[in-house]
Amino acid sequence: MRQQETGQQLNPLLPGYSFNVYLVAGTTPIIENGPLDFFIDRKKGMSGFIINMTVKGRGKVFDGDDAIYCNPGDLLLFPPDATHFYGRAPGSPDWYHRWIYFRPRAYWSHWLEWRNQVNKVGRLTLPDKELINEFDELFQQIEQTYKSGRRSSEELAINLLERLLIRCFEETPEHRETPIDQRITEACQYLSRNLAEEVNLEKMARHVCLSPSRLAHLFREQMGVNIVRWREDQRMILAKHLLQSTRSPIAKIASLVGYDDQMYFSRVFRKRVGASPSEFRKNSEAPPAFCEVPSAGGDDRPSSVSES
């Protein structure tokens, strides 16, 4: 067993699992006095985000005045620096929740700023059964895809997660009035079409009918990162895809995503992805759940405490 070889916990429902991956999805069925009936207690948060949805019973998050309770159809979003402290609510016979741990793509930032928050944890309540079913389905699809073991399972699961985050964004009442500016969407498309080219801010600004400074400002405001960083992230996403799905030499992939200097490309890749392009390609051949990347800091190991 790998667990015995490495001494690491391989079950994400139990304390000690390292979460040193891009995406992990699961369902935690907590039953009163069962083996999972403890409070998750991660004081320093995790390296990535967690989105969770209650599907049965009642959960309790935080304690004292901050305590919040979650019922079927309630979603919670924990950003990396939020404390995790949750478990079955006293009095409820169970708490089943689906969850996804993930390291987001840069252009997702807009969808990850949930306005309704308690102690940094975003909250969203789905108002009707139809929506609850739709979201539950989506969570299950993500979990099944992630666990399917097929070659692109992680990419496909991330793709479905993106859909889930967009749906959460759409269902947040305040966001209905503040859609993304069409000119910024157009700027993103422009960048994606010209990924290997140098960014010519003036040309792009003309293309979307904004002044260069207004475009730069609005882009940062709406996308959460600046134009150069956004394009770099897109380049890395494409490079990862090409490394996984082709046998092209690294120098060729570097040039396809806009880097003539392979050494420089490898440096940027390592900085953003946490592994060199060749290490990443090699790791991608292993099953996705063990495709490890160096931790971005933060202690992801839950120290579970029983509820008194």
Binding site for ligand FCB (CB under 6 A): 12-13, 28, 40, 50, 52, 97, 99, 101
Nearer to ligand FCB, 58 or 97 (CB): 97
Angle between helices 227-245 and 277-284 (to 10 degrees): 50
Nearer to ligand FCB, 52 or 172 (CB): 52
Q: Give Cβ neighbours of residue 160 (< 8 Å, ≥ 6 apart).
A: 138, 141, 142, 145
Smallest distance, Å, CB 99 to ligand FCB?
4
Note whether 42 and 93 are within 8 A (CB): no
Smallest distance, Å, CB 89 to ligand FCB?
14
Smallest distance, Å, CB 35 to ligand FCB?
12
Q: Give Cβ neighbours of residue 47 (< 8 Å, ≥ 6 apart).
A: 19, 20, 80, 103, 295, 296, 297, 298, 300
Smallest distance, Å, CB 134 to ligand FCB?
21
Residue nearest to ligand FCB (CB): 28
Nearer to ligand FCB, 68 or 199 (CB): 68
Smallest distance, Å, CB 137 to ligand FCB?
19
Nearer to ligand FCB, 135 or 219 (CB): 135
Nearer to ligand FCB, 76 or 215 (CB): 76
